[in-house]
């Protein structure tokens, strides 16, 4: 079995294709990196993976049959973490799952499985926080906009939640770190990008687009949090565990100095 460095296009389909070709060409991956990061070396043995939907579909079907749909989703959630070593972790785990006769997905004694579980837990926690911390503001045309900066790429994981919860209005949730968002037109949700995402991320630019009564609603929201805040029972250590400072930029209530 040849040991090689794999390069793919950075997509989930690319990872699934990599798993297929790992078995097809009987290769042992030493690394799995984005094609853009490739450095040709004299002693490097590399294999370029070209995403192919038919191969990706076959691997997806095989994984679901082997470890169940929840096991497959764990691998996908780990991929959304965007951690640099995760692509290699996923294909090594896939090899382990396919070659094992036992149901290894719940074997927490295996280093790779334990590592996966920890990553999935972190991604799940970030998904939960984005459901709670998204703050919408209405623009002049009636569109509700929320800006977020999650640590992981959780937009695909919160899509259904917001579509079900706000099914009667148009909204946009934009990830200003990854420069794309989800747009709901009261019927379907689609991914969108902007030619100049920097303008959307600029709060001063958005102020000019807010509906006339939006500052009043924002002020009401702030006053509510100020009124329910009990200074004598303040526990900043506990508060920061639930609402880390990195999220404060997009939370209206933080302008009242609840961290003081």
pLDDT by residue (tens digit) across 176-218?
A: 999 999 999 999 999 999 877 666 666 555 666 778 777 777 7
Largest CA distance in the chain: 67
Residues 25 and 103 in one domain: yes
Residues 74 and 92 in one domain: yes
Residue 42, pLDDT above cutoff 60? no
| Least confident interval from 74-78, 85-89, 141-145 | 141-145
Residues 36 and 116 in one domain: yes
Domain range for 225 is 214-260
Residue 260, pLDDT above cutoff 50? no
Residues 63 and 8 in one domain: yes
Residues 141 and 47 in one domain: no
When divided into structural domains, the chain yields a total of 3
Residues 155 and 190 in one domain: yes
Domain end call among 67, 98, 125: 125
Residues 90 and 148 in one domain: no
Residues 13 and 99 in one domain: yes
**Tens of pLDDT, residues 166-181:** 999 999 999 999 999 9
Q: Which residue has the tokens 């706000």?
A: 166
Q: Alpha-carbon distance 10 to 125, whole Å? A: 24
Residues 105 and 54 in one domain: yes
- Per-residue pLDDT, 72: 97
Domain end call among 72, 107, 125: 125
- Which has the higher per-residue pLDDT, 145 or 250? 145
Model confidence at 241, pLDDT cuts 50, 70, 90, reads: confident
Beta strand pairing status for 189-192 and 137-138? unpaired
- Per-residue pLDDT, 24: 96
Give 124-131's long-range contacts (Cβ < 8 A, gap of 24+).
124/77, 126/150, 126/151, 126/152, 126/154, 127/154, 127/157, 127/158, 129/247, 130/154, 130/158, 131/158, 131/161, 131/162
- Per-residue pLDDT, 257: 43
Closest CA to 34 of 79, 70, 96, 75: 79
Residues 45 and 56 in one domain: yes
Domain end call among 82, 101, 125: 125
Length of the chain: 260
Residues 181 and 238 in one domain: no
Residue 41, pLDDT above cutoff 60? no
Containing 219, the helix (H) or strand (E) segment is helix 214-228
Residues 237 and 175 in one domain: no
The pair of three-digit structure tokens given for residue 242, joined into one six-digit string: 């639930």
pTM for the model stands at 0.85
Q: Alpha-carbon distance 102 to 93, whole Å? A: 13
């Amino acid at each position: 079995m040849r040991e090689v460095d794999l390069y793919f296009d950075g997509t989930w389909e690319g990872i699934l294709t990599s798993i297929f070709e790992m078995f097809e060409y009987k290769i042992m991956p030493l690394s799995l990196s984005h094609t853009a990061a490739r450095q040709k070396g004299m002693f490097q043995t590399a294999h370029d993976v070209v995403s192919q939907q038919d191969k990706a579909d076959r691997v997806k079907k095989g994984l679901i049959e082997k470890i169940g749909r929840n096991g497959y989703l764990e691998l996908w959630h780990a991929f959304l973490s965007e951690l640099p070593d995760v692509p290699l972790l996923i294909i090594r785990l896939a090899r382990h799952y396919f070659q094992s006769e036992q149901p290894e997905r719940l074997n927490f004694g295996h280093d790779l499985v334990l590592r996966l579980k920890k990553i999935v837990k972190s991604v799940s926690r970030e998904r939960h926080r984005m459901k709670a911390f998204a703050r919408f503001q209405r623009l002049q045309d009636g569109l509700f906009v929320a800006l977020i900066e999650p640590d992981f790429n959780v937009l695909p994981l919160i899509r259904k939640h917001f579509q079900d919860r706000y099914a009667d209005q148009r909204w946009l949730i934009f990830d200003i770190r990854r420069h794309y968002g989800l747009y709901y037109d009261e019927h379907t949700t689609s991914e969108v990008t902007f030619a100049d995402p920097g303008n959307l991320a600029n709060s001063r630019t958005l102020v000019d687009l807010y509906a006339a009564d939006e500052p009043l609603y924002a002020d009401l929201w702030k006053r509510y949090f100020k009124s329910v805040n009990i200074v004598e029972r303040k526990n900043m250590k506990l508060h920061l565990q639930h609402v880390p400072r990195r999220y404060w930029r997009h939370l209206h209530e933080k302008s009242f100095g609840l961290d003081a």
